[in-house]
Structure 1
Amino acid sequence: MTLENKLGITDSSELARIEEEISKKKAIEIFEKNNILEDEIGKFASLSKIHEILFSEIYNFAGKLREVNIAKGNFRFAPLMYLENSIKYIDKMPQSTYDEIIEKYVEMNIAHPFREGNGRSMRIWLDLILKKELGKVIDWSKIDKEDYLLAMERSPIRDIEIKFVLKNALTDKINDRDIYMKGIDASYYYEGYNVYKTSEIKNY
């Protein structure tokens, strides 16, 4: 099933290609313009802004909380009825240490606030938090795809793996655009992963 989009694309492969092309251009805009307010970094407001910038040319829901329940395999992301409260809880989570930042990242992944594009938006969001609080970012080129995906899948139960995987890729090259853009490479990180099933609340 192809998501309804502003471009009128009905082929899912074509939509994925165009979506990645546009979102990468918009990601560069975020990097170069630095247009995320400093006091919002780590809050949902900044994540929403990132998502809106990346996907506003493609989807009407860009930057907006999803209105359906979604699941990946046997894992159900935060139920719609609890989503707003989950976001409020995450906003209040501390982010002054590496462990706190990754725990916040894991919780936001469990919330999965958007209908599509969570991974790319959250990786930019994570880098902004790390940059602000620790003067570090993730060198995504040093992260093995399978290690990352498996660690993220297991993180709701045990976050030690994702903490280890990401910590080994920390760098102080916070102004390196090539390092930053590796985190936006959707085809590398989420090919075959970011496919969700949706259900109405009554079926949840």
Structure 2
Amino acid sequence: MTGLTPTQAHAVRQTLAAERLEGWRPRPDQVADLVALATGGVEHADYLARRCAEAGAVPAARRRRLALPRPYLVTGTSVLRNRFGFRDQSQLREIEFGATAARLLQAHLRPAPQARAVDAEHILALHGLVFGDVFGWAGQTRIVDMTKNGDAFAPVQSIPRYLREVEIAVAATDWQRVDRGKLAYALAAVYVTFNHAHPFREGNGRTGTLLLHQLTESTGYRLDLAGVTAAEWVGASRDSAPFRRTGAPSPRPLIPLLTGALVPR
């Protein structure tokens, strides 16, 4: 990635890492567009228009947030309701990857908040930022229970409690003075609690890794997830799940991965 500042290069690298953990395999031209977005060579509106054209979509205006519970799926399909009106999963995935990559990149390029400012409201805002171009319910906690590959996440009514536990874990850590081992443990504790809460209908992984990056900015390390494979990340996340849906997840499975991903500044 020639022509990028260290900050821009890190932002592009971590954006791609987060999306690849979710299954994106970007083409060289898509990576080049992200680089251009990082350097200011292309405006966000033009970037999004290119992604929409590829997926066969027209950018839609942001709609009002959902005020009442309603189904997440497009009627008669298993496709999530989206701002583009897609009823085809492959089309939705294509635009989702491209659109959220741009927002992740922008978040990485902005100054991170102080760790003490990270709370449940901040987490909801992160999700709204990253997924707001795609879903009308971005930034809102889910209203349905969820399972994945047979594993159940926290019940809807328990989401606020787990988000409060994330806040407690953040507040209990002296982020400016942690060494690598303590930092890896703290990040793992935050992530597994957030992941079990699974507060959003879609987009928990990318929101969670962005949260870890922001917390790490208060330390003497940087988080580099480019060397972590999707299989490693998903496996460790699954192994961290509690035995009971309302139990406490274990940070231990994620600690080795995060330790290896922490790089001194």
TM over 0.5: yes
Q: Runs of 5+ in structure 1 lacking a partner?
A: 174-204
Which runs of at least 4 in structure 1 moved beyond 4 Å after TM superposition?
none
- Take 1:136 and 1:40, find their aligned partners in 2: how far apart are those partners? 17
Q: TM-score, normalised on structure 2?
A: 0.60
- Take 1:92 and 1:83, find their aligned partners in 2: how far apart are those partners? 14
- Take 1:40 and 1:116, find their aligned partners in 2: how far apart are those partners? 26
Q: CA deviation at 1:138?
A: 2.1
Structure 1 segment 26-175 matched on structure 2, within 5 A = 26-34=103-111, 37-38=113-114, 41-93=117-169, 94-96=172-174, 97-98=182-183, 99-132=185-218, 134-157=219-242, 158-172=250-264
Partners of 1:128 and 1:137 within 8 A in 2: no
Q: CA deviation at 1:57?
A: 1.4
Q: Which residue of 1 aligns with 2:41?
A: none
Q: CA RMSD in A?
A: 1.8
Larger Rg: 2
Number of aligned residue pairs: 171
Q: Runs of 5+ in structure 2 lacking a partner?
A: 1-77, 175-181, 243-249
**SS of equivalent residue, structure 1 residue 167:** helix
- Take 1:41 and 1:153, find their aligned partners in 2: how far apart are those partners? 28
- Take 1:89 and 1:145, find their aligned partners in 2: how far apart are those partners? 26
**Deviations 1:53-85, CA, capped at 9 Å, x for gaps:** 111111111111111111112211110121112
Identical aligned pairs, as a percentage? Answer: 23
Partners of 2:165 and 2:193 within 8 A in 1: no
**Deviations 1:85-108, CA, capped at 9 Å, x for gaps:** 221222122233411231111100
* CA 41–135 in structure 1, closer or farther in 2 if over 3 Å, else same: farther
